[in-house]
């Protein structure tokens, strides 16, 4: 089972990948980063995407999908996709048996990337990711 570094390198092999990181959505800290980051700062990207992740996970409206939350082993929100003029930003939540507050982030070039493939691969990476 791959750790953070291996998962990030796997994400960068996706067509159109510009950068990737693993972050904690509570603290906003990057646990690992590779490639470029929007604005050139991976720590700022981690903090800003963590804010989006936190809002999604704590939203009563979005959480009303029948899930039990991260501590219960399932999550009401699986991923977030933000579409920009030239890029996609994907956030995939990592669900574990403990209270996980970790997500994978991928910055994907819109012209060269494949959004559907990236979403599938990020889900697979999140399922295999070993934290610790």
**What is the tens place of the pLDDT at every residue in 8-36?**
999 999 999 999 999 999 999 999 999 99
Range of the domain at 10: 4-128
The count of domains in the chain is 1
CATH code: domain of residue 93: 3.30.450.30
pLDDT of residue 67: 47
Taken in order 112, 118, 122, 125, the sign of the CA dihedral is negative
Q: pLDDT of 49-85, one tens digit each? A: 999 999 998 887 776 655 444 444 455 789 999 999 9
């Amino acid at each position: 089972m791959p750790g953070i570094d291996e998962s990030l390198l796997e994400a960068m092999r996706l067509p159109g990948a510009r950068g990737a990181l693993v972050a904690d959505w509570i603290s906003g800290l990057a646990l690992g980063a590779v490639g470029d980051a929007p604005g050139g700062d991976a720590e700022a990207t981690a903090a800003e995407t963590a804010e989006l992740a936190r809002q999604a996970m704590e939203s009563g409206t979005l959480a009303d999908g029948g899930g039990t939350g991260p501590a219960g082993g399932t999550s009401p929100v699986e991923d977030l996709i933000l579409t920009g003029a030239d890029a996609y930003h994907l956030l995939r939540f990592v669900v574990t048996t403990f209270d996980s507050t970790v997500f994978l982030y991928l910055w994907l070039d819109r012209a060269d990337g494949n959004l559907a493939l990236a979403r599938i691969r990020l889900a697979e990476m999140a399922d295999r990711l070993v934290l610790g």
